[in-house]
Amino acid sequence: MTEQPNENHQQPGAPAGGDRLTPRPLNRPAVDDVQAATFGRPQGVDGAFDKLYTPGLTNGHSPGINLAPPAPESLAEAFRRPPGAEGVLLERPHGESGSAEDDPESPLWTSSSDPWRDPAAGAVLGGPAVQTEEEPKAGARPRGAQLSLPEVLFGRRVKPKALVLLGVVALLIGAVGGFIGWWAADTGTALTGEATISEAEAAKERPAGSIAEIAKRVAPAVVSLEVYKPGAEQGEQGSGVMIDPQGYVLTNEHVVSSAVADPQTKITAVFVDGSRTEAKIVGSDQKTDLAVVKVNVTNPTVLQVGKSANLQVGDTVIALGSPLALQNSVTSGIVSAINRPVTAGGDNGGPPVTYEAIQTDAPINHGNSGGALVDSTGALVGINSSIRSSGADGGSIGIGFAIPSDFAVKIAKSLIKDGKVSHPDIGINASSTVMGSTTMGAQVKNVAPTGPAASAGIKEGDVITKIAGRTVRDSAELTVAVRGHDVGEVVPVQLVRDGALLVVDVTLGSD
């Protein structure tokens, strides 16, 4: 029996000799309306998309499909195939070599300048692009012909007035440029010129009571005294303080001692402004190293006198004078000690001078003698008199001495009034009593027969330890303790005699 072919053709991959498997049930899940609108077929297309184009239809268009309009003529002319190449593909025929060496020029390519030549061939550079001349804008002014310098000057192409105006403008521009260059060169270069330095509007603050403010007020009342003899090669110099509007100047006796001894010696007072005038001696006292001279000036600056008794150790003091012939010098320091008995050597062969002094570390040198020692208010508290120095140069080592103003002004008043001074005297000569390394008092060496001490019963060999309650440690302190009182004053004197302590009253006499 002949086997009939099956109407259902066996598909590849189906089991041979068996029945075909029935298709699985179609399961179409529900489609979201938004996704259907986004991914569904276009309107009017029911079948597959390949039906949009069906080869062989008239004009190649499917019915009912709207295609894009034809390209513009300019683009079609630029990108269409060259004449004679209609229907010719740009690819080489299959099987032909693509090497330029095997087939340098295919019959398809007729010219080396053909834009559709072999892509494997080398590039050919064309000619440069030529820019077309732009049409002048409406209303634009046409450009004139350019003229050379000879044509401007000698070709009579420009009016003479225009040339003159051009020359004037050029001269003005040159003058302005020259002025700017001169100014730049004159004001400064890389190495020379005027410096621009910033300066402070005010220097240093000088409040009331500062050393600068005090020195400014006090300096006009401190004078420099030049003592010299006409015809002599050298002279002496010291300082003085104006204490009275009538022209009285207080100074040290050793500053004017040569003028006291020789009337031909002259004294010249030099003020802070440089003015000079002659000074006359009013009186001097060698025992206290004080003197007064007078100058003939109008409305002098007078120094205010303070209270030296109010000074305490550590107070600020300022020394003014002419140290080492350096006029109008100012130094400052503090009070190192008060009531310091000092004995200085006498000048011109005179006896030693003993006085009670203010010790200060304000630098004082030769020439400061007779100058002012003022306090922090600018008031006179002392007359600079001597220094303690070491070495042959005799320079300042920070130990200077000044006569207290209370005592100095008292002596000055006596000199101005009488021309001399009477000093209280106890009528004895004494020396310092030393035991070990300390002094224990002033030992009486001799007693004046009719003096105050003899009248009070003081004997030779007694050791005086106190006068009017003030401790006496040596002979210098005995002298200053006695001079601290007035002539005729009765003072208690404590002494030691043969180990016994005695107190006697002494009526001070005059020297």
Residue 93 has pLDDT above 80, yes or no: no
Per-residue pLDDT, 291:
94
Mean pLDDT, range 29-47, rounded to an integer = 77
Greater model confidence, 363 or 158: 363
Confidence at 272, pLDDT banded by 50, 70, 90: very high
Choosing from 267, 295, 323, the residue where a domain stops is 295
What CATH number is associated with residue 321?
2.40.10.10
Q: Are residues 403 and 320 in the same domain?
A: yes
Would you say residue 6 has pLDDT above 50? Answer: no
Confidence of residue 507 (pLDDT cuts 50, 70, 90): very high
pLDDT tens digits, 182-222: 887 776 555 666 677 777 666 566 777 788 999 999 999 99
Q: Which of 266, 295, 324 is the last residue of a domain?
A: 295
| Active site annotation includes 254 | yes
Range of the domain at 252: 211-295
Q: Is pLDDT above 60 for 17?
A: no
- Residue 227 in tokens: 């003592």
Q: What confidence score (pLDDT) does residue 359 get?
A: 95
Long-range contacts of 236-239 (CB under 8 A, 24+ apart): 237/322, 237/325, 237/367, 238/321, 238/322, 238/367, 238/369, 238/370, 238/371, 239/320, 239/321, 239/322, 239/367, 239/368, 239/369, 239/370, 239/371, 239/372, 239/384
CATH code, domain carrying 492: 2.30.42.10
Q: Is 485 a catalytic residue?
A: no
**Are 289 and 313 in the same domain?**
no
Task: Tell me, yes or no, whether 104 lies in a domain.
Answer: no
Catalytic residue among 239, 257, 332, 369: 369
Query: What is the mean predicted confidence (pLDDT) over 40-49?
Result: 69
- Report the percent of the chain where pLDDT is more than 70: 71
What φ, ψ does residue 261 adopt, rounded to 5°? -75, -30
Q: Given pLDDT bands bounded at 50, 70 and 90, which one contains residue 3?
A: very low
Q: Hey, which residues does 357 pair with through a beta bridge?
A: 340
Same domain, 320 and 405: yes
Residues 319 and 236 in one domain: no
| Statement: residue 239 has pLDDT above 90 | yes
Q: What is the pLDDT of residue 7?
A: 47
What pLDDT does 193 receive?
60
Q: Which of 289, 375, 425, 474 does the annotation list as catalytic?
A: 289
pLDDT at 114: 58
**Predicted local distance difference test score (pLDDT) of residue 161:** 81
**Same domain for 402 and 318:** yes
Q: In the structure encoding, which two tokens stand for residue 252, read together?
A: 């040290």
Residue 501 lies in a domain: yes
Bigger pLDDT: 333 or 25? 333
Q: Phi-psi region for residue 128, left (φ > 0), alpha (ψ -120 to 50) or beta? A: beta
Residue 354 covered by a domain: yes
Residue 112 is among the residues annotated as catalytic for this protein: no
Q: What's the whole-number mean pLDDT along residues 254-260?
A: 90
Please classify residue 25 by burial: count the beta carbons closer than 10 Å to its beta carbon, then call 0-12 exposed, 13-18 middle and 19+ buried. exposed
Mean pLDDT of the chain: 80
Report the b/e string of 162-185 with b at 16+ CB within 10 A.
eeeeeeeeeeeeeeeeeeeeeeee
The answer as to whether 439 is a domain residue is yes
> Which residues lie closer than 8 Å to 214 by C-beta, 6 or more apart?
318, 374, 376, 377, 378
Report the pLDDT value the prediction gives residue 70, as an integer from 0 to 100. 78
Q: What CA–CA distance (Å, rounded) separates 173 from 108? A: 74
440, 396: one domain: no
In this structure, the answer to whether residues 317 and 400 fall within a common structural domain is yes
Which tens digit of pLDDT belongs to each residue from 380-411? 999 999 888 776 566 778 899 999 999 999 99
Q: For residue 504, what pLDDT is reported?
A: 93
314 and 403, same domain (yes or no):
yes
Q: Are residues 291 and 313 in the same domain?
A: no
Residue 431 domain-assigned (yes or no): yes
**Hey, what are 77's tokens?**
């002319």
Same domain, 429 and 392: no
Least confident span in 32-41, 271-280, 450-459, 484-493: 32-41
Q: What is the pLDDT of residue 236?
A: 87
- Which of the four pLDDT bands, split at 50, 70 and 90, describes residue 89? low
Looking at the fold, whether 361 and 432 belong to one and the same domain comes out as: no
Q: Which of 178-182, 236-240, 332-336 has the lowest mean pLDDT?
A: 178-182
- From the centroid of its chain, how far is CA 21? 109
Does the structure show a pLDDT above 90 at 77?
no
Structurally, the chain folds into a number of domains equal to: 3
End position of a domain, from candidates 386, 409, 432: 409
Q: Is residue 8 very low, low, confident or very high in pLDDT (cuts 50, 70, 90)?
A: very low
Please indicate, yes or no, if residue 492 is contained in any of the structural domains: yes
Residue 401 near residue 358, CB atoms below 8 Å: yes
- Residue 114 inside a domain? The answer is no
pLDDT exceeds cutoff 80 at 369:
yes
Secondary structure percentages of the chain, helix, strand, coil, to 5: 20, 25, 55
For residue 231, being part of any structural domain is answered with yes
Looking at residues 257-261, what average pLDDT do you find? 89
Which residue out of 224, 254, 375, 405 is catalytically annotated?
Answer: 254
What is the mean predicted confidence (pLDDT) over 28-47? Answer: 77
Residue 312 and residue 243 share a domain: no
Average pLDDT over residues 67-80: 77
Average pLDDT over residues 346-367: 83
